[in-house]
Amino acid sequence: MSRVIMYREALNEAIAEEMRRDRTVFLAGEGVAERGGSFRTSVGLLDEFGPERVVDTPISEASFTGLGVGAAIVGCRPIIEILFVDFATLIMDQLVNQAAKYDFMSGGRGRVPMVVRTQGGSGNGLAAQHSQSLEAWFYHVPGLKVVMPATPYDAKGLLKSAIRDDDPVVFIEHKLLYMSKGEAPEEEYTVPLGRADVKREGNDVTLISYSRHTLLCLEAARKLSEEGIDVEVVDLRTLSPLDKETILASARKTGRVVVVHEACKQGGVGGDIAAMIMEEAFDYLDAPVVRVAGLDTPIPFNVTLENACTPDIKKICSAARLLLYRNEVM
């Protein structure tokens, strides 16, 4: 039976269900136990599972991420929560040089089944050190899987799959999604990693996105439909592994593609996706692939300036019209 729940409730359910299913799963991070998490994603877990499996850590990301890597190597399935993705600067050695490479460097004899949960993105006026979108860092590293769900349904199903996966997974949640609502079944389900979802079928232009900006693309598609423009929306859900087949199929179908993400355009995931489409579906395109991305600047504290730095529905609609009519300046 399906019901409407909040994104943060979906995450909470996923963690609780996996902890009940597998006693090797534990959660560790700053404020995850007694406070129930800064974004209320671990409420009630301490009461059910106790302080040995729901662990409030010191403010030392490098140390408790290293703890997670070690615990995973010896047979546990840790969920390590990094409060803001900006603080990933403090754990890159543990994550990139240890967790991501352990399988390869051990000749396949060792695995690191660890999930690093964190949140990113702008929207709350938290300024440059707490508002970044850094998914391209992790996307670039062989051995890491990267997941960025947009809906409560996907958040729950993908987190359960990530916890069960035998590789290290970076699971990034947008800070503006925690209070969003959507349908999710009460019964057991998972969503496989590496499989995109066509959230809306269309024939004129494809919008490709992930995380919160999938929802903006869906709203842009609704607005464009009022103008007679039939838009397809592809939600990547998982950046690594990347579902190239779904991306290419949609590009070949519509012949026009806009890639949308909040992260800076320079070095962003969108550039890689655009290049892949140009390399493998060029003959099907009626126009070059367009990227709508964040400006190449630190995020300002001022909310008006913050909003000006990131894609919105108007910018997405303009890009789609540009591909169709080639006469509108973005």
Q: Write out the catalytic residue numbers.
A: 61, 130
Three-state SS for 127? coil
- 29 forms beta bridges with 56, 81
Give the three-class secondary structure for 195. coil
Whole-number Å distance between alpha carbons of 260 and 216: 9
* DSSP reduced 3-state for 324: helix
Q: Are 36 and 42 in contact (CB under 8 A)?
A: yes
Q: Which residues contact 112 (CB under 8 A, 6 or more apart)?
A: 69, 72, 73, 98, 99, 100, 102, 103, 167, 168
Closest CA to 32 of 4, 68, 6: 68
The rounded distance, in Å, linking the Cα atoms of 48 and 233 is 40
